[in-house]
Structure 1
Amino acid sequence: MVAVKAYYRFFVVARQFLPLVLSYLRDRYRFFFFGRSRNVTAEMRVERAEALLDSLLTLGPTFIKLGQLLSTRPDALPPEYIDVLTQLQDDVPPAPWEEARTVVEDELGSVEESFEEFDTEAISGASLGQVYRARADGQDVAVKVRRPGIEDLVETDLTVIRWTLPLVIYFVDDARAFSLGNLADEFSKTIREEMDYEREASMLEEIRGNFTDDPKIAIPAVVDSHSGPRVLTMEYIGGTKITDVDELDERGVDREQVAERVTRTYLKMITQDGVYQADPHPGNLAVKGDGTVVFYDFGMSGRVDEFLQEKIIDFYIAVASRDIDEILDILIEMGTLSPDADRATMSAVLDVAIQDARGEDIETWRVQQIIGQVEDTIYEFPLRLPSNLALVMRVATVVEGVCLTLDSDFDFIAVASHFLTERGYREESIQAYLEGAGEDVREAARAAVDIPPKLDRSLDRLERDNVYVRAGIEDDDGVLDRLARRVVYGALTAAGIVSTTVLYVAAEMLAAGVAGVATMALVVLLWRSFRERRGIRTAPKVTERYLDQRRRHRE
């Protein structure tokens, strides 16, 4: 049945995306199948990104979730698309109560018997579920109900995405093909997990257990007796939306402390606990009158293994210390940056990004700007972003955006640095550095003893003219071969032009015609050799002016 629906859905999706596909084909070939490529400006990309956003909204819940996931993958899309898709909110009108009632009663039995009270007006609606207020076992609860019929729609859409992916990959380069392939697998896994309310309940309870000793963090408890795979009932905890600054001020809440509390909570989740809520947008965070931060919605949550935890800690320490080489080494170890990448170019990007992030005040750092400008390069360089790291990057940028709304002078890096120092991570890093420095000193001492005799022998051989130099040239991409062919084609073309001219003047028309045809063939071969895109390229020249233009465009 799903397959039959998928055929119809495939044509619906294809019709929706056809204008964008045609535009992309014209970017590669001006006349679709031949001709030079077109120059695509940033303005054109923004227009197309907005068209993509409209298409995703039109196609419904599954594609809204896909757009949200795409907004976390700068290795798969240009930065202009990321900026537009980041605005995509999972805010969908709730399904009619009578349809939602069927889901509740299938899971729990009669609504009237299961709940003492039940408000049939949803307090929030999303693409995969909707939330109602109710009362059960003498306490106020929030009841999250999976959207009716969403399972069949999601499975149908996932089938369509699997059918479409090979067509998309055919038109992109290898790095983007790798990213899109991983993204499709990740999306299938993520959306199925988010529809599984039993998994969400388990993650919620685990994260809640990690903060039982912190009175300033509130996470609702699960009401197991009223929960199932499609219905999740939790205690209801009210609060002011975290970005409602005016109401927070009226309640006398210290916004600066709240911003620091949110940041420290996520740092603890990621660097210590290894499990975190991965969707910290303002709708999922609230603040009580005493400054307690309330966390909602754990459908999108993730885990961080010990290796990634260690690397994230090292990354924050390296950024705080402005150690560019260490940052690059960490990115390579995490699998984000290719070991063959141009370190000089990437160093320039990171150095300028950090300079810019510091602003006029040398102590004011903005991790969102650092990550944002590094993300800009991810699409242009052959980098690959692991899915678990993509979620962590998204959490970092969204959290800082929320905190900057609370406190315009908020310094994410300073808070992260203090957090790591309090837990001894920076001291461990300094100790490791000192131990490494001690080893370097010992190596230098040994070298000071070994080098003079070797240098004396080398100078003696040089004096006797007994020195030979052997050089090897690596040419795995065949660059020299292409250069040689171009030289040969050029020489033969020049000779052909001269020969054709001489024969024509000598009135040897047949011979001149043959020579002319041969010369034209050589001209075509020469022209095609210069049209080849592989091999001879220069690394992108990243300058401060270039990044400033990017930053102004984003703002």
Structure 2
Amino acid sequence: MASLRAYRRFVVVCWRFLPLIWSYARDRRRFLLVGGRRSVSTERQTRRAERLVDNLLTLGPTFIKLGQLLSTRPDVLPPAYVDELARLQDEVPPADWADAREVLEAEVGPVGEAFDDFDAEAISGASLGQVYTATLDGERVAVKVRRPDIEALIEADLRVIRWSLPILLTFVDDARAFSLRNVAEEFSTTLREEMDYSREAEMLAEIRANVADDPDVAIPAVYDSHSGERVLTMQYVPGTKISDTAELERLGIDRHAVAETLERTYLQMIIADGVFHADPHPGNLAVRDDGTVVFYDFGMSGRVDEAVQDHIVDFYVAVANQDIEAILDTLIEMGTLSPEADRATMAEVMELAIADARGEDVEQYRVQQIVSKVEDTMYEFPLRLPPNLALVLRVATVVEGVCLTLDPDFDFVSVATDYLGEQGYYERGAREFVAETGDRAVSSARSSLRLAPKLERALDRVDRDDFYVRAAVEDSTGALDRLAKRLVTGVLFGAGAVSTGLLYIHAADTAALAVGVGTIGIGLLCWRSFRRRRGGRATPGLAAGRGER
């Protein structure tokens, strides 16, 4: 039965995405089997992205989540698609209360016994679950219940995605094929984690403990006795939606202070704690009447290791210092930029991004604009983006968007710079630099001592004519091979033209005709090799060494 459902879904998915696949195939080959690539304008990409979003919404929960994940992967899709998918909202009508009640009672027992009072009208509905309010031991609580029978649909859709992946891989290059495989594996893991409310309860409790000393942040407490794999009961913490600036203004709340609290909290989560709330859209953020920022929905949460945390600190420090080379080095070390990318071009992109972001205020520039420009380049220079780092990059841009909604003049980098200074990251960096410099000095001294005898041996071999250099040409793109073919066909064409002329002069008409036809064919091959479009230029390299005979 499960296989039959998966087959039906596979047919539906193929039918939905067939026009987009057809269009993409036409982009690669104008007449499908022959012809060169055709250019696609940004407007056309945006229209296709809008159709993609409509299809994902129609296909339901699994594909809504897939679209949200793809919105964090600029290494897989062009910027126009990433921007459109970022608007994909995880909001769908709640399921019938009767069906949801079965799930709830299977986890916590009869509703009338488990709760003092329960409101059967859901206050929000998402693709995987829905939230109700209730009273427990005299306290108001929020009860998150997984959608009925969602497991079977998710498993069928994941099977469809596995079946569809080989088809998609035939349309992309090797680098992007690697990224797509990673996305498929990551999506399967992430979706199952998000369906497990017991994991969400653990992440919520850990993050809540990390920010417990901050009076400006509120995270709901978990009621473990009334929670499980499919049900999560939390403290009910009401507040004004963080994007409702008119209501915040009416309440007299300092919106700049709220934005600063939001950014500082995320900096602490990512840089200091290593575990963070990864879905900061306005629906998951609220503000209480006293200005406290409230976080909801920890189903999408992430972790970062110490190495990634250090790279993020280095990135912010480089941006604050406007050190373009340091920015590029950090992006390469983080894996967000290909080492093979043209550094001169990327440096220009960074300089333009910073200059454009400054505006009239020389001191103000925004990370969102820098990251978005880098994301544009990511698609042109495919890379292998680590999953958690993709979440971090997306969180940074979404958080800054929320901050700018609260305060259009908010300086994201300035707040980050102040935070790093207060936490001592600049001092730590200076100590590490001094230590690293000392280590390099010792290493250089040792190398100098070893250099003299090696240099003497090399000079002795030169005196004995026993020194040679071995060179190997690296040509991964086949540029030299194409050049050699052009030279050969060019020589053959020239020789054929001369031979045809000589044979014609000596009245050997048949032989002249035969050689002439062959020469024309060789000429066409030579002409075609120069007319054929190439995706890039090769840069042959030399590897040198020495040895003894």
Query: Is TM > 0.5 for Structure 1 vs Structure 2?
Result: yes
1:178-217 correspondence to structure 2 within 5 Å: 178-217=178-217
- Deviates most, 354-363 or 51-60: 354-363
1:80-479 correspondence to structure 2 within 5 Å: 80-433=80-433, 472=471, 474-477=473-476, 478-479=478-479
Q: What CA deviation, in whole Å up to 9, does each residue of 1:508-551 have, x standing for no partner?
A: 4532442233224313432453326366359xxxxxxxxxxxxx
Which ranges in structure 1 are unaligned for 5 or more consecutive residues?
449-465, 539-555
CA apart distance, 1:297? 0.3
CA apart distance, 1:427? 1.8
Q: Which amino acid aligns with 2:233?
A: T
CA 1:445–1:394: 2 relative to 1, 3 Å: same
CA apart distance, 1:85? 0.9
CA apart distance, 1:102? 1.6
CA distance in 1 between counterparts of 2:45 and 2:493 reads: 41
Which ranges in structure 2 are unaligned for 5 or more consecutive residues?
449-464, 540-549
CA distance in 2 between counterparts of 1:198 and 1:156 reads: 23
Q: What CA deviation, in whole Å up to 9, does each residue of 1:477-497 have, x standing for no partner?
A: 342232122122123224334
- Deviates most, 31-40 or 176-185: 31-40
CA apart distance, 1:382? 2.9
CA apart distance, 1:110? 1.7
CA distance in 1 between counterparts of 2:419 and 2:159 reads: 45
Contact persistence 2:179–2:383 (CA under 8 A): no
**Residue 25 of structure 2: SS of its match in structure 1?**
helix
CA distance in 2 between counterparts of 1:92 and 1:125 reads: 6
CA apart distance, 1:152? 0.7
**Residue 474 of structure 1: SS of its match in structure 2?**
strand
**Residue 57 of structure 1: SS of its match in structure 2?**
helix
**Residue 22 of structure 2: SS of its match in structure 1?**
helix
**Residue 286 of structure 1: SS of its match in structure 2?**
strand
Provide the residue aligned with 1:536 in structure 2: 537
Q: Which amino acid aligns with 1:95?
A: A
Q: What CA deviation, in whole Å up to 9, does each residue of 1:73-123 have, x standing for no partner?
A: 000001111111111111111112122112112212222222222111111
Provide the residue aligned with 1:47 in structure 2: 47
CA distance in 1 between counterparts of 2:472 and 2:347 reads: 26
Provide the residue aligned with 1:541 in structure 2: none
- Deviates most, 134-143 or 236-245: 134-143
Provide the residue aligned with 1:20 in structure 2: 20
Q: Which amino acid aligns with 2:489?
A: Y
CA distance in 1 between counterparts of 2:302 and 2:536 reads: 40
CA distance in 1 between counterparts of 2:511 and 2:266 reads: 80
Q: Which amino acid aligns with 1:343?
A: R
CA apart distance, 1:37? 1.6
Provide the residue aligned with 1:79 in structure 2: 79
CA distance in 1 between counterparts of 2:356 and 2:294 reads: 33
CA 1:225–1:442: 2 relative to 1, 3 Å: closer
CA apart distance, 1:471? 9.3
CA 1:347–1:447: 2 relative to 1, 3 Å: farther
**Residue 30 of structure 1: SS of its match in structure 2?**
coil
CA apart distance, 1:261? 0.3
CA 1:171–1:505: 2 relative to 1, 3 Å: farther
Structure 1 length as normaliser, TM-score?
A: 0.89
Q: Which amino acid aligns with 2:482?
A: R
CA 1:445–1:155: 2 relative to 1, 3 Å: closer
CA distance in 1 between counterparts of 2:431 and 2:227 reads: 50
CA 1:447–1:375: 2 relative to 1, 3 Å: same
Q: Which amino acid aligns with 1:15?
A: W
CA apart distance, 1:242? 0.5
Structure 2 length as normaliser, TM-score?
A: 0.90
**Residue 533 of structure 1: SS of its match in structure 2?**
coil
CA distance in 2 between counterparts of 1:309 and 1:536 reads: 36
Contact persistence 2:92–2:127 (CA under 8 A): yes
CA apart distance, 1:30? 1.2
Q: Which amino acid aligns with 1:260?
A: E
Q: What CA deviation, in whole Å up to 9, does each residue of 1:400-454 have, x standing for no partner?
A: 0000011111111111111010010012223444566778899999999xxxxxx
Q: Which amino acid aligns with 1:356?
A: D
CA apart distance, 1:366? 0.6
Q: Which amino acid aligns with 1:475?
A: E
Contact persistence 2:336–2:378 (CA under 8 A): no
Contact persistence 1:479–1:535 (CA under 8 A): no
**Residue 474 of structure 2: SS of its match in structure 1?**
coil
Provide the residue aligned with 1:66 in structure 2: 66
CA distance in 2 between counterparts of 1:418 and 1:101 reads: 49
CA apart distance, 1:498? 4.7
Contact persistence 1:220–1:237 (CA under 8 A): yes
Q: What CA deviation, in whole Å up to 9, does each residue of 1:111-139 have, x standing for no partner?
A: 22222221111111111111111112211
CA distance in 2 between counterparts of 1:98 and 1:520 reads: 79
CA distance in 1 between counterparts of 2:447 and 2:358 reads: 40
Provide the residue aligned with 1:463 in structure 2: none
Q: What CA deviation, in whole Å up to 9, does each residue of 1:34-58 have, x standing for no partner?
A: 1222122222211211111111111
RMSD of aligned alpha carbons? 3.0
Contact persistence 2:141–2:234 (CA under 8 A): yes
Contact persistence 2:335–2:386 (CA under 8 A): yes
CA 1:45–1:326: 2 relative to 1, 3 Å: same
Q: Which amino acid aligns with 2:537?
A: I
CA distance in 2 between counterparts of 1:486 and 1:81 reads: 40
CA distance in 2 between counterparts of 1:254 and 1:84 reads: 31
CA distance in 1 between counterparts of 2:15 and 2:442 reads: 68
Contact persistence 1:186–1:387 (CA under 8 A): yes
CA distance in 1 between counterparts of 2:19 and 2:240 reads: 43
Contact persistence 1:218–1:293 (CA under 8 A): yes
- 2:50 maps to 1:29: no
Provide the residue aligned with 1:543 in structure 2: none
Q: Which amino acid aligns with 1:536?
A: R
Aligned length: 530
CA distance in 2 between counterparts of 1:99 and 1:202 reads: 26
CA distance in 2 between counterparts of 1:535 and 1:407 reads: 44
Provide the residue aligned with 1:545 in structure 2: none
CA distance in 1 between counterparts of 2:427 and 2:202 reads: 35
Provide the residue aligned with 2:461 in structure 1: none
CA apart distance, 1:250? 0.9
CA distance in 2 between counterparts of 1:151 and 1:446 reads: 63
- Deviates most, 108-117 or 517-526: 517-526
Sequence identity (%): 63
Q: Which amino acid aligns with 2:181?
A: G
Contact persistence 2:66–2:187 (CA under 8 A): yes
Q: Which amino acid aligns with 1:253?
A: I
CA 1:304–1:443: 2 relative to 1, 3 Å: closer
